[in-house]
Chain A
Amino acid sequence: MKTNHDTYKLRGFLPNYFKRIGLALAIISVLGFIGGMIFEQAITIDKEAIATITLDGVILGLLIISLSKTRIEDEMIMHLRLNAFAKAFIFGTAYLFSVSLMSLIMHNDVPITPHSLIIVELIMFICFFEISLSKLSKQ
């Protein structure tokens, strides 16, 4: 029978230090986006291309954070992770419904891009998971 350690080592998650790499990538992408907005006239690259590249960078950064292991991985951490995924998915669906409903009521066409939905879900997953971990560490 596999040990608990082996079971959770084989899940395909990234080592813990990838959390910092993901965070750095997300921050650099956000700064790149802000920089692109400020120096809009000076940059010759298409504005939409900058937005797409930076949003992709943010998504990749958040995904790396989400897939990084905690310092100690065991079955309860995996349970908390799955709970956080479920909550984030429900939150994302609620976000999608509420934004489209608001858009309909206010006759204002607010576009929901796949990028924004994924970013909301990833951010909410990270928040729910980190809250669970901090509650756990207080025990």
Chain B
Amino acid sequence: MKNTIKVERAKKDITQEKLAELAEVSRQTINSIEKNRYVPSTVLALRLSRIFGVTVNELFMLEDDD
């Protein structure tokens, strides 16, 4: 699964630290999600989509091998 968190972050000009604060998780969790090392729960995915004002489908996309 890939995601556009880094792109959305750049658009909104917010750091991983700030996003972590808004999503109530650690910066390392945001970093791991961005690097596809960790797949977030539905609650966290929804929260991130709400922060960026996009749908979950726009933020997270399935890849061919998923």
Interface residues, chain A, with chain B CB atoms under 8 Å away: 1, 3-5, 7, 72, 74-77, 79, 136-137, 139
Given A1-B43, A4-B43, A4-B47, CB of A75 within 8 Å of CB of B28? no
Name the contact of B24 in the complex, choosing from A5, A79, A139 (C-beta under 8 A).
A5
User: Which B residues are in CB contact (< 8 Å) with A4?
Assistant: 23-25, 43-44, 47
Interchain nearest-CB distance for B55 vs A (Å): 17
**Which residue of chain A lies nearest to B35 when distances are taken between CB atoms in the complex?**
A139
**Which residue of chain B lies nearest to A71 when distances are taken between CB atoms in the complex?**
B26
Q: Classify chain B's interface size.
A: 10 to 19
User: Which B residues are in CB contact (< 8 Å) with A77?
Assistant: 26, 29
Given A136-B32, A139-B32, CB of A75 within 8 Å of CB of B24? no
User: Which B residues are in CB contact (< 8 Å) with A79?
Assistant: 38
- CA A1 – CA B50 in complex, angstroms? 13
Interchain nearest-CB distance for B38 vs A (Å): 5
A-B contacts at CB below 8 angstroms, number: 37
Name the contact of B31 in the complex, choosing from A7, A74, A139 (C-beta under 8 A).
A139
- CA A77 – CA B47 in complex, angstroms? 18
Interface residues, chain B, with chain A CB atoms under 8 Å away: 23-26, 28-29, 31-32, 38, 40-41, 43-44, 47
Given A4-B44, A4-B47, A136-B28, CB of A76 within 8 Å of CB of B38? yes
User: Which B residues are in CB contact (< 8 Å) with A1?
Assistant: 43
User: Which B residues are in CB contact (< 8 Å) with A136?
Assistant: 28, 32
- CA A123 – CA B52 in complex, angstroms? 42
- CA A70 – CA B42 in complex, angstroms? 23
- CA A135 – CA B12 in complex, angstroms? 29
B31 adjacent to A75 (CB under 8 Å):
no
- CA A7 – CA B32 in complex, angstroms? 20
Interchain nearest-CB distance for A79 vs B (Å): 7
